[in-house]
Structure 1
Amino acid sequence: MGGVTDLPPAPWRARPGLARLVAALGPGDARIVGGAVRDTLLGIETADVDLATPHDPRTVIARLEAAGIKAVPTGIEHGTITAVSSDEVYEVTTLRRDVTTDGRRATVAFTDDWREDAARRDFTINALYADPATGELYDYFDGIADLEARRVRFIGDPYRRIAEDHLRILRFFRFLARFGDEADAEGLNACTDRANDLMALSRERIANELLRLLVAPKAVDVVQLMLDRGIFTPVLPEVDTAGVSRLRRLASYEILNIDPDPIRRLAALLPQDPVAVELVASRLKLSNAQRKRLVTAVSPLPEVHDEADAWREKLAYRIGIESAIDQLLLHGSAVAAARLKDMNEVPRFPVKGGDLIARGLSKGPDVAKALRRIEDRWVAEGFPDAARVTAITDEEVAQVLDASR
């Protein structure tokens, strides 16, 4: 990468929608910025392609509409327009500078100065621009050198950048976990000193950054660094050395062709106590589905009464395939979890209430009682075929009828 001056070829550069969009904005008035440039230089596939332009947002909209490109003012107050060009989605943002910041949001003013726009970004590796036609690179703060060194470094004074947006503390560690071999010492010390600033952020923003961090390639080592530096203390004091050890063990199991999962990794990091985890999930304002899965993951693994493969399927039937894999991995049953990975769906219980009414049960609690008994036996016997289900059903219906007489 040393001495590189042009962006290497990449599939996204040949997208027809990008060519249309650049033509609409005008020669020299659009540059690719941020992640697409960074990832392409690293040889990483990129999905999102963002552009920057000196045109003000209203001019961007007018130019796109004149070219037949759909323009959606998704963040127009901050200069961002979503462009839909040849069924491809791009974000186009006007060059800007910060006027005021309070650690959570910024008031911006538009500019036509590319360096001024770069100066307001967080890290040097995110402030790289490229000409979409020629691939010429624009690097105002030695981001390419930092990228080559796998170094995560703030642009300018780290304390000032953190004061502008406190979330940059977590972003520093997320980018370190994804791209870094080296944490810039000045930036690391600033994050450590200002960790309490995280308390001013919404819990949703904290959760979003944390979950993205946890699946990064070097997440375990970076989480250990964050623990050592006291980063978790203001917002997630439950994280301790035992949690990092569980996370490291879980990550080692993922070599069994199991993809890293943010909720599962968060479950490993937290105390293995459903009540404590429920409180954390509530504090982070996780979705109901995420909260339920997190609590289930740290719940005790049901006692296994047989060695047959069916017990894994029984667990998956009761709590779902995803949660079964979570529990098995967290309890050290990595091979069992790997065998469940390719299970597409759990067996379908073949009996319905109408079937029991047709056999003589009256509508009401007897039907629900009989269904539970039939289902329990069906699961216990390893999901038997139709003939056995019929036999179980007839037997249980008879017993319920006898008990009701």
Structure 2
Amino acid sequence: MTRLEGQDWLTSSATMAVMDALEAAGGPDCARFVGGCIRNALVGRPVDDIDIATRLRPADAMAALQAAGLKVVPTGLAHGTVTAVSERQPYEITTLRRDVETDGRRAVVAFTDDWAEDAARRDFRLNALYADRSGTIFDPTGQGVEDALAGRVVFVGDPARRIEEDYLRILRFFRFYAWYGRAEADSHGLAACAAHAEGLTRLSAERVSKELLKLLAAPDPRPAVSAMRHAGVLARLIPAVASSAAFEAMVDLSDDPVLRLSSLLPDEPPVVVTAAQALRLSRVMEGRLGDAALGPLDLATPHATLRAFTYRLGRQAVLDRLMRGLAEAGGQGDRSALAAVADWAVPRMPIGGRELARLGVEPGPETGLILKAFEDEWVAADFPATGHADRLSRLVAARHR
């Protein structure tokens, strides 16, 4: 039997306090670690979240944890989940379950005492792994450990059935492939995802965008995105461009999922903004994608022009467009333009209504017109630090001829 070794999270006092509390109520083997913490430990990845599966019913688990003096939050009682906080570390604890009814978006569950039943309702074999407090791993599907070590993402049981239970598993298939896959994508899983891609339209935009951004944040999401494209999944999420060259170059240039997403989208701001809104992306992300869709900026653009763009559009927009230009060039070119924008201290408009009032200009529409003319000249002259009074006097005189 495979056993975890050298895992600090497994033997920490915070973890032991949670396991002690559960076993005091349910006896030995009433609780096991499950899913991502086992998978990541096996493949040498950091363990950020510790999930525990238990035979205890939610109310009993809560009572046991509270009796041990631990804070408990009822984070998902309908699905059997509570969160214990031990030494400021959260532990998500879920009662063993089996699906009673599913509709592709959510499931009605019943609690069970059977570890195999709980494993059978999980998405992928490398996630259907359990370990007791000694680190001994239990692999109910018989292939989860092997999959994790080999970098295979394979559905538990029939891929079509797993997807029909929750269509988000299509995106999870590609997301886990992006993060953990080291071989060719499982052909049966790919075929099932392609056949059921229409089901993605039944999901909430928030769930879809969360998975998509997690996928794009992987160290190298290119194989997964390519597989999504060929399976007809990508086109159901975004108005993808035909060429993938810019995206493939961008992956080497930046780990920013928003920039990577931008490089997959066409240079059509209205189309891109509509797609971002359909995905319910944040206003900040929507703004970045819309600005980047104005088109790549050539790295050879004069720095004075870049400063003008930065003043008008904002630093992030110009940096994103320069990165798009660098990706379009295959990552080749002088990158001093990026530093010139990143390091430049954007100046404030050096004059305002007070200076105009001193020249006898009454507040009103005339003030705005003169200030706009001043700003345009100042920006075009590359933000000179002096000469403001002469420029302003000339503009005022010109308006009153």
1:401 Cα deviation after fit: 6.2
Aligned 8 A contact 2:42 2:149 in 1: no
Q: Indicate which of 5, 10, 18 corresponds to 1:8.
A: 5
1:367 Cα deviation after fit: 4.4
Indicate whether 1:330 and 2:324 are aligned: yes
Match of 2:137 in 1: 137
Aligned 8 A contact 2:99 2:121 in 1: yes
Match of 1:123 in 2: 124
Match of 1:273 in 2: 268
| Cα distance change on mapping 1:392 and 1:147 into 2, 3 Å | same
1:396 Cα deviation after fit: 1.9
Q: What letter matches 2:231 in structure 1?
A: R
| Cα distance change on mapping 1:395 and 1:234 into 2, 3 Å | closer
After TM superposition, the structure 1 stretch with the greater mean CA deviation from structure 2, 13-22 or 175-184, is 13-22
Match of 2:309 in 1: 315
- What is the CA–CA distance in structure 2 between the aligned matches of 1:107 and 1:41, rounded to whole Å? 31
Match of 2:283 in 1: 288
Match of 2:216 in 1: 214
Please state whether the residue corresponding to 1:52 is helix, strand or coil. strand
After TM superposition, the structure 1 stretch with the greater mean CA deviation from structure 2, 142-151 or 319-328, is 319-328
Aligned 8 A contact 2:19 2:31 in 1: yes
Aligned 8 A contact 2:33 2:50 in 1: yes
Q: Indicate which of 231, 253, 256 corresponds to 2:233.
A: 231
1:157 Cα deviation after fit: 0.7
Root-mean-square deviation (Å): 2.8
Aligned 8 A contact 1:8 1:41 in 2: no
| Cα distance change on mapping 1:371 and 1:195 into 2, 3 Å | same
Aligned 8 A contact 1:48 1:90 in 2: yes
TM-score by length of 1: 0.86
Please state whether the residue corresponding to 1:9 is helix, strand or coil. coil
| CA offsets 1:214-240 (integer angstroms, 9 cap, x no match) | 22233222212222222234444x224
Aligned 8 A contact 2:22 2:65 in 1: yes
Aligned 8 A contact 1:51 1:91 in 2: yes
Indicate whether 1:64 and 2:58 are aligned: no
Q: Indicate which of 191, 203, 206 corresponds to 2:205.
A: 203
Aligned 8 A contact 1:271 1:277 in 2: yes
Q: Indicate which of 187, 190, 205 corresponds to 2:189.
A: 187
Match of 1:349 in 2: 348
1:268 Cα deviation after fit: 1.2
Q: What letter matches 1:140 in structure 2?
A: P
| Cα distance change on mapping 1:135 and 1:382 into 2, 3 Å | farther
Q: What letter matches 1:331 in structure 2?
A: G
Match of 1:395 in 2: 391
**What runs of 5+ residues in structure 1 fail to find an aligned partner?**
none
1:341 Cα deviation after fit: 9.6
Match of 1:22 in 2: 19
1:327 Cα deviation after fit: 0.6
| CA offsets 1:200-256 (integer angstroms, 9 cap, x no match) | 2222222221222122233222212222222234444x22432x222113224x1xx
| Cα distance change on mapping 1:111 and 1:394 into 2, 3 Å | farther
| Cα distance change on mapping 1:264 and 1:399 into 2, 3 Å | same
Match of 1:104 in 2: 105
1:73 Cα deviation after fit: 1.1
| Cα distance change on mapping 1:344 and 1:91 into 2, 3 Å | farther
| CA offsets 1:143-189 (integer angstroms, 9 cap, x no match) | 11111221110001111101111111111111111111232222121
**What runs of 5+ residues in structure 2 fail to find an aligned partner?**
none
Match of 1:163 in 2: 164
| Cα distance change on mapping 1:99 and 1:368 into 2, 3 Å | same
| Cα distance change on mapping 1:17 and 1:372 into 2, 3 Å | farther
Aligned 8 A contact 1:347 1:383 in 2: no
- What is the CA–CA distance in structure 1 between the aligned matches of 2:300 and 2:366, rounded to whole Å? 29
After TM superposition, the structure 1 stretch with the greater mean CA deviation from structure 2, 266-275 or 354-363, is 354-363
| Aligned ranges 1:70-109 → 2 under 5 Å | 70-109=71-110
Kindly, what percent of the aligned residue pairs are identical?
A: 42
Aligned 8 A contact 1:328 1:336 in 2: no
Aligned 8 A contact 1:38 1:126 in 2: yes
Q: What letter matches 2:275 in structure 1?
A: V
After TM superposition, the structure 1 stretch with the greater mean CA deviation from structure 2, 293-302 or 312-321, is 312-321
After TM superposition, the structure 1 stretch with the greater mean CA deviation from structure 2, 120-129 or 330-339, is 330-339
Please state whether the residue corresponding to 1:140 is helix, strand or coil. coil
| CA offsets 1:320-358 (integer angstroms, 9 cap, x no match) | 333222111212375438834993785241646465367
Q: What letter matches 1:349 in structure 2?
A: R
1:199 Cα deviation after fit: 2.0
1:377 Cα deviation after fit: 4.5
| Cα distance change on mapping 1:296 and 1:18 into 2, 3 Å | same
| Cα distance change on mapping 1:376 and 1:83 into 2, 3 Å | farther
- What is the CA–CA distance in structure 2 between the aligned matches of 1:46 and 1:96, rounded to whole Å? 24
- What is the CA–CA distance in structure 1 between the aligned matches of 2:179 and 2:33, rounded to whole Å? 21
1:81 Cα deviation after fit: 1.0
- What is the CA–CA distance in structure 2 between the aligned matches of 1:186 and 1:138, rounded to whole Å? 25
| Cα distance change on mapping 1:351 and 1:94 into 2, 3 Å | farther
Q: What letter matches 2:249 in structure 1?
A: R
